[in-house]
């Protein structure tokens, strides 16, 4: 029976928080000793250090080189695809129960390494220890949940009705072939593992291209899959830029499917590039997520939930709350309490125990924040927000809260992927729903109200795939595998099906009808 990993929550429940902290800090010491090493690409089970390497720079402190990743060239990518295609012949024939066993073994291996993986995440993308361990927990959850789904569905082999007495009919879901898996920096273990697991457990093979900001996490994942029993060539790793490595995968005719998590522009570009191909394109492409706070809300709970959702991991989540849609009659009271709460959130080195907000991922994001701050100050009123100059060696910025922008302003409409929250007031609930739906995205949304009619309307009228009502732990983030399918509507996704759900694995397979006449 599947259960979520929930490492930190279990530590709290068992009164073992100090054990949790000691394990994480010990893992930091372990990762410290590995900093600056060269790391390979992996093709057909073989690790290759290329002649061309690039630095994996920590956003915590740009003087820290987490390691040097190997940059794959066209020859490497061609070889990786060929290896995956060759391995597919054997991997697809392996009984689904054996693939389940391998994925569960990978989950067990990852569970044993969870603190070291979390510490690596902190160095690579700047997550604090709580966010980092949750990232690894989610990866373990994907492995176990998808294994459960494969088993519960009998490998997606279903006996059908028989129209004639001498015929036996089956519906069998079969893999496509080789998938390109293109993963993001913000959940380098969880999302990468989830997408690779979806492809592998259903009988496909993989060529993985991780974010160039977090390449070393991906190397750890591939090694875990291989240690668990994934055959040589069934999972291959090529690292480098999206422009070079990613583009070669996306345009390859030898790739049979693509699964991608990242920006809308890149996701749509992948879709357009392959518009004349029958290959499946599975994408999650971000959000511009809103939380409505009505006059009937419990304000204190809503303040905490929105701050967590907007500023956790510096707003660098597809599900981050970036729009506060608030009843005009309570706006002043709410905003004052939100500012009071937000100013107390500690910004700093995420390795430190009490840090809530670490750095943004890279110089590009840091520079973008400065541009948003400058323009928002002219077009609206910045209630809070600044570059954290005293932490000069990393990419540190404060949460930004903006009021007074027009409803059509670009910062109200477009995803920024930064800790930026815009405030929009409303007078009638009809208006709140209209504002919430007035963006191109439809990923997550929240509401705080004790009005049953408003809750019902929110569920029925809000155009987003993941909805939360009165959720104090986070207004729009924190979907749990097996409990809250993570699905994007509109420009937040193409498939209309969510990860961590009962409908995810069939995206990696195509149906085959089998009829056999009985003797």
Query: In this predicted structure, what is the pLDDT of residue 352?
Result: 98
pLDDT at 1: 85
Instruction: Give the Cα separation of 471 and 306 in Å (integer).
Output: 9
Q: Are residues 251 and 345 in the same domain?
A: no
Residues 276 and 318 in one domain: no
Q: Which of 284, 415, 425, 454 is catalytic?
A: 284
Grouping H, G, I as helix, E, B as strand and the rest as coil, residue 156 is helix
Q: Is residue 4 part of a domain?
A: no
**DSSP-based three-state secondary structure for 57:** strand
361 with 250, same domain? no
Per-residue pLDDT 10s for the chain (519 aa) are 899 999 999 999 999 999 999 999 999 999 999 999 999 999 999 999 999 999 999 999 999 999 999 999 999 999 999 999 999 999 999 999 999 999 999 999 999 999 999 999 999 999 999 999 999 999 999 999 999 999 999 999 999 999 999 999 999 999 999 999 999 999 999 999 999 999 999 999 999 999 999 999 999 999 999 999 999 999 999 999 988 999 999 999 999 999 999 999 999 999 999 999 999 999 999 999 999 999 999 999 999 999 999 999 999 999 999 999 999 999 999 999 999 999 999 999 999 999 999 999 999 999 999 999 999 999 999 999 999 999 999 999 999 999 999 999 999 999 999 999 999 999 999 999 999 999 999 999 999 999 999 999 999 999 999 999 999 999 999 999 999 999 999 999 999 999 999 999 999 999 999 999 997
> Are residue 315 and residue 207 in the same domain, yes or no?
no
Three-class SS state of 54: strand
Copy the structure tokens of residue 374: 């400058």
Nearest to 188 by CA among 103, 117, 239: 117
Establish if 193 belongs to a structural domain. yes
C-alpha span between 157 and 329 (Å, rounded) = 56
Contact yes or no for 314/391 (Cβ under 8 A): no
Shared-domain flag, residues 45 and 20: yes
β-bridge mates for residue 206, sequence order: 179, 235
Domain range for residue 67? 9-285+495-517
Q: Is 291 a catalytic residue?
A: no
| Contacts of 52 by beta carbon, 8 Å cutoff, 6+ apart | 70, 71, 73
How many CB atoms lie under 10 A from the CB of residue 428? 10
d(CA 386, CA 376): 12
Q: Would you say residue 487 lies in a domain?
A: no
162 with 236, same domain? yes
Predicted pLDDT of residue 519: 79
Report CA dihedral (128, 133, 134, 140) to the nearest 10 degrees: 150
Number of neighbouring beta carbons within 10 Å of residue 173: 19
> What is the number of domains present in the chain?
2
Catalytic choice (318, 321, 425, 454):
318
Burial class (CB in 10 A: 0-12, 13-18, 19+), 83: buried
Query: Is 38 in the same domain as 162?
Result: yes
Domain CATH number, residue 21: 3.40.605.10
Please check whether residues 267 and 297 belong to one and the same domain. no
pLDDT of residue 91: 98
What's the pLDDT tens digit per position in 376-432?
Answer: 999 999 999 999 999 999 999 999 999 999 999 999 999 999 999 999 999 999 999
On whether both 312 and 216 belong to a single domain, the answer is: no
Domain check: are 300 and 241 in the same one?
no
311/414 same-domain check = yes
Report the candidate in 77, 132, 481, 425 with the shortest Cα–Cα distance to residue 251.
Answer: 77
**Residue 503 placed within a domain:** yes
**First-to-last CA distance in the chain?**
40
25 is known as an active-site residue: no
Contact 96, 152 (CB under 8 A): no
Report the CATH number at residue 436.
3.40.309.10
Q: Which of 512, 486, 497 is nearest to 156 (CA)?
A: 512
| Cβ proximity of 515 and 350 under 8 Å | no
Matching residue, tokens 């928080």: 17
3-state secondary structure of 281: strand
Residue 2 belongs to a domain:
no
Rounded Cα gap, residues 194 and 128, in angstroms: 21
376 shares its domain with 408:
yes
- Residues 72-114 pLDDT 10s: 999 999 999 999 999 999 999 999 999 999 999 999 999 999 9
426, containing H or E segment: strand 420-426
Query: How many CA within 13 A on the CB side of residue 202?
Result: 30
Q: Considering the domain boundaries, does residue 412 fall inside one?
A: yes
Q: Is 490 part of any domain?
A: no
- Provide the pLDDT for residue 82: 98
d(CA 90, CA 11): 42
pLDDT the model gives residue 273: 95
Classify residue 434: in a domain, yes or no: yes
Give the integer Cα–Cα distance in Å for 373 and 381: 10
């Amino acid at each position: 029976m599947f259960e979520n990993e929930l490492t930190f929550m279990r530590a709290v429940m068992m009164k073992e928080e100090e054990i949790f902290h000691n394990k994480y800090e010990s893992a930091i010491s372990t990762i410290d000793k590995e900093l600056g090493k060269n790391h390979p690409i992996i093709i057909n089970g073989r690790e290759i250090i290329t002649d061309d390497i690039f630095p994996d720079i920590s956003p915590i402190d740009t003087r820290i080189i987490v390691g040097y990743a190997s940059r794959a060239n066209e020859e490497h990518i061609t070889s990786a695809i060929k290896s995956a295609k060759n391995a597919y012949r054997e991997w697809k024939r392996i009984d689904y129960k054996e693939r389940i066993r391998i994925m569960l073994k990978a989950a067990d291996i990852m569970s044993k390494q969870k603190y070291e993986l979390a510490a690596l995440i902190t160095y690579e993308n700047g997550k604090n220890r709580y966010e980092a361990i949750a990232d690894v927990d989610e990866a373990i959850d994907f492995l176990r949940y998808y294994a459960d789904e494969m088993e519960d569905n009998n490998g997606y082999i279903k006996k059908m009705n028989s129209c004639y007495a001498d015929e036996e009919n089956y519906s069998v879901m079969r893999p496509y072939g080789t998938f390109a898996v293109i993963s993001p920096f913000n959940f380098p273990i969880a999302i990468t593992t989830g997408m690779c697991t979806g492809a592998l457990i259903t009988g496909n093979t993989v060529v993985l291209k991780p974010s160039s900001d977090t390449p070393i996490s991906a190397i750890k994942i591939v090694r875990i899959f291989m240690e668990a029993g994934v055959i040589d060539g069934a999972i291959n790793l090529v690292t480098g830029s999206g422009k070079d490595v990613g583009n070669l995968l996306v345009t390859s005719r030898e790739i049979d499917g693509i699964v991608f998590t990242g920006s809308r522009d890149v996701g749509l570009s992948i879709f357009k590039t392959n518009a004349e191909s029958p290959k499946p394109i599975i994408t999650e492409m971000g959000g511009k997520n809103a939380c409505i706070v009505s006059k009937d809300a419990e304000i204190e709970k809503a303040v905490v939930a929105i701050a967590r959702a907007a500023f956790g991991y510096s707003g660098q989540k597809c599900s981050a709350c970036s729009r506060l849609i608030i009843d005009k009659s309570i706006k002043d009271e709410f905003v004052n309490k939100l500012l009071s709460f937000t100013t107390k959130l500690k910004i700093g080195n995420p390795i430190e125990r009490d840090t809530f907000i670490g750095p943004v991922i890279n110089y590009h994001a840091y520079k973008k924040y400065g541009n948003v701050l400058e323009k928002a100050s002219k077009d609206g009123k910045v209630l809070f927000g600044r570059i954290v100059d005293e932490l000069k060696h990393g990419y540190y910025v404060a949460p930004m809260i903006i009021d007074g922008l027009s409803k059509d302003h670009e910062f109200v409409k477009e995803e920024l992927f930064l800790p930026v929250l815009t405030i929009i007031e409303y007078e009638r609930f009809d208006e709140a729903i209209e504002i919430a739906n007035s963006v191109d995205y439809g990923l997550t949304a929240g509401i705080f109200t004790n009005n049953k009619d408003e809750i019902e309307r929110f569920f029925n009228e809000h155009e987003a795939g993941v909805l939360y009502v009165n959720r104090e732990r986070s207004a729009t983030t924190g979907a749990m595998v097996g409990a809250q399918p993570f699905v994007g509507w509109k420009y937040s996704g193409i498939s209309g099906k969510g990860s961590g759900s009962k409908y995810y694995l069939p995206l990696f397979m195509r149906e085959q009808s089998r009829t056999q006449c009985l003797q």
